[in-house]
Amino acid sequence: MNNKEFKPYVPAEKVTAEMTVTSVIMGIILAVVFGAANAYLGLRVGMTVSASIPAAVISMGVIRVIMKKNSILESNLVQTIGSAGESLAAGAIFTMPALFLWAEEGLCEKPGLVEITLIALCGGVLGVLFMVPLRNALIVKEHATLLYPEGTACADVLLAGEEGGSNAATVFSGMGIAAAFKFIVDGLKAVPADVAVAFKSFKGEIGMEVYPALLGVGYIVGPRIASFMFVGSIVGWLVIIPLICLFGPETSMYPAAAGVTISQLFAEGGAAAIWSNYVKYIGAGAIATGGIISLIKSLPLIISTFRDSMKSMKGSQANSTLRTDRDLPMGVILVGILAMVFIIWFVPAIPVNFLGALLIVVFGFFFATVSSRMVGMIGSSNNPVSGMAIATLLIATFAIKATGETGIKGMTGAIAIGSVICIIAAIAGDTSQDLKTGYLLGATPKTQQIGELLGVVVSGLAIGGVLYLLDAAWGYGTADVPAPQAGLMKMIVEGIMGGNLPWTLVFVGVCLAIGLEILRIPVMPFAIGLYLPIYLNATIMIGGAVRMFMDGRKKVDAKTKERQITDGTLYCAGMIAGEGLVGIFLAILAVAGVTIPSFISFGNIGGVVIMILMILCLLKFSLWNKRKD
């Protein structure tokens, strides 16, 4: 397709409502809701899900069906603002909880709300501003070659406006039903959160967590990724743990378990104690190696991407008079970037010196460019943000150590740099997807960019409160909020600064990851499965199995199957949001000291029954969803 011939859904000559009171308020609400829900999900399972399509569906359902307004660009702005919350949360939760973990160990003070908010805001604003000059190069000039899968899908959802009511109802149903299940499990404690079977003589353990969000994640990522994660857990809990107990029952290694033998650990805490003190480090080594491998494999693409993007920036349409070509003025962008760098460098609340600010500018712009282009080719799900964050963290930690700034001051500085870069990469990818949606629909880019900045500011103000709330309620590193990615970042920085990691276990994970890569088995999902408890990954596998059943049916026409699978995806997105919101609500009650009366517990049988009911509800809103097409 020739780009000059491309005509958006709303012509450039036509001016329709975009940034209205309705779209701004709805966008802000969804940014906070999906940001908080994804923060909770990411801290539990180490991954987040895209909020763009659920936000688009909800906005279309409310604006078109309930309010009887016919403004597709208004709905588009709602999802633009709303999706920023999820992306900013993804960047923040993968790094910043490490600061809370160090505070728990007595190495430093807890990060203040001002510090968390400023880091989130600076990273988010820089992510948007770095991407804006690339819009003409990536979205317009390469419209036919860079497809931006999520951005295109979001435009398709908004264009299918006549389905907005039923689709939105599916999302809201998922939110409500998941909220009820979550409250039964964690609020009323009527059934155990973990249903586990321990093999005492074998020393292995298997089980599942009775949570709707995990089921939803498994359905969304599909059976392939879910199975790799589950296999990682099987290797950890049914292979490595039994071998550790078999060969070293009277052994006591490493500071984490100093003076306590493996047999004592198992007697006191079962297989979970062995996993926490030993297997987790193997998983950390595998995850770090997987991130670096993904980055190395992407290097040719990254280099060519950056080069092509710089070339394409020549001949920008910044001076065009067409509504659909207007971006934020370059002067505003440069002033905004300088202001963010000034805040990062000079504000005492952010533990970053001049070297750190310089690293943020250089790597921030580079990874924003790479992220913006790569999500156009391979989608947000495959964007190696974690690999970029690990690479930045390694470089920043070595650079800070080389200046002689070691100890906790250097470690907190490295995490702050890594946090800003991670948020920049995540937000830049999200912004490019949203701008692609707007390009297809005929939105005004400048309005979208302002909406993206608004979503970043609102989410940045909220994320500090969410992180503090979850820490106060349960504490990071616990079963409720294990914060796996942040724990990994913490271990990397500590390992470089102090060299006190159990390197033998870490290198076992490194070698395992290299072996998987040679066999062409995806390293990251396997490594995450090894790094996280088996109960969690088993539930994700159940969701993947439901999706496999939905995908594998033969006697169904393609259109019906696609609609049913999409209904299931929307329902699962609602489930994830519903559980996340109830999790935040329960955290508020825990901090306030409010105790919910516990009713009779139905034990493991009750947990199995709840899981079956959750699966049946998922099938009800996908396979058995009776509605008029």
In one letter, which amino acid is 401? K
Helix (H) / strand (E) containing 208: strand 204-209
How high is the pLDDT of residue 162?
44
Give, as one character, the DSSP assignment of residue 629. Answer: -
How high is the pLDDT of residue 395?
84
Asked if 61 and 168 count as a contact pair (C-beta separation under 8 A), the reply is yes
φ, ψ at 200 (rounded to 5°)? -60, -50
Per-residue pLDDT tens over the stretch 514-543 = 999 999 998 888 988 898 889 989 999 999
The answer on pLDDT for 356 being more than 70 is yes
Over residues 56-71, the mean pLDDT reads 78
In one letter, which amino acid is 158? L
How high is the pLDDT of residue 314?
56
> What are the structure tokens assigned to 306, written together?
């950056």
Over residues 9-38, the mean pLDDT reads 91
Alpha-carbon distance of 40 to 46, in angstroms, equals: 10
Cα–Cα separations (whole angstroms), residue 92 to 53, 110, 417: 21, 16, 11
Per-residue pLDDT tens over the stretch 97-135 = 999 999 999 888 899 899 999 999 999 999 999 998 888
Cα-to-chain-centroid distance, residue 352: 25
How high is the pLDDT of residue 617?
97
Give, as one character, the DSSP assignment of residue 183. Answer: I
- Model confidence at 29, pLDDT cuts 50, 70, 90, reads very high
Among the ranges given (96-105, 120-129, 310-319, 603-612), the one the predictor scored with the smallest mean pLDDT: 310-319
Per-residue pLDDT tens over the stretch 153-191 = 788 778 876 454 567 888 889 999 999 999 999 998 899
Cβ atoms within 10 A of the Cβ of 472, count?
14
Q: Is 179 left (phi over 0), alpha (psi -120 to 50) or beta?
A: alpha
- Looking at the chain, the whole-number percentage of residues with pLDDT higher than 70 is 92
- Model confidence at 373, pLDDT cuts 50, 70, 90, reads confident
- Model confidence at 80, pLDDT cuts 50, 70, 90, reads very high
Alpha-carbon distance of 538 to 292, in angstroms, equals: 27
Cα–Cα separations (whole angstroms), residue 419 to 119, 299, 487: 7, 22, 13
How high is the pLDDT of residue 549?
96
- Model confidence at 320, pLDDT cuts 50, 70, 90, reads low
- Model confidence at 465, pLDDT cuts 50, 70, 90, reads very high
How high is the pLDDT of residue 212?
94
Among the ranges given (188-192, 574-578, 596-600), the one the predictor scored with the smallest mean pLDDT: 596-600
Identify any residues that bridge with 209 across adjacent strands, giving them in sequence order.
194
How high is the pLDDT of residue 413?
92
Per-residue pLDDT tens over the stretch 384-437 = 677 677 778 888 888 898 888 888 999 999 999 999 999 999 999 999 999 999
- Model confidence at 318, pLDDT cuts 50, 70, 90, reads very low
Over residues 431-447, the mean pLDDT reads 94
Contacts of 434 (CB under 8 A, 6+ apart): 52, 79, 80, 83, 151, 154, 448, 452
How high is the pLDDT of residue 1?
43
What does the mean pLDDT of the chain come to?
86
> What are the structure tokens assigned to 174, written together?
């998922």
- Model confidence at 27, pLDDT cuts 50, 70, 90, reads very high
- Model confidence at 614, pLDDT cuts 50, 70, 90, reads very high
Over residues 357-385, the mean pLDDT reads 79
How high is the pLDDT of residue 625?
83
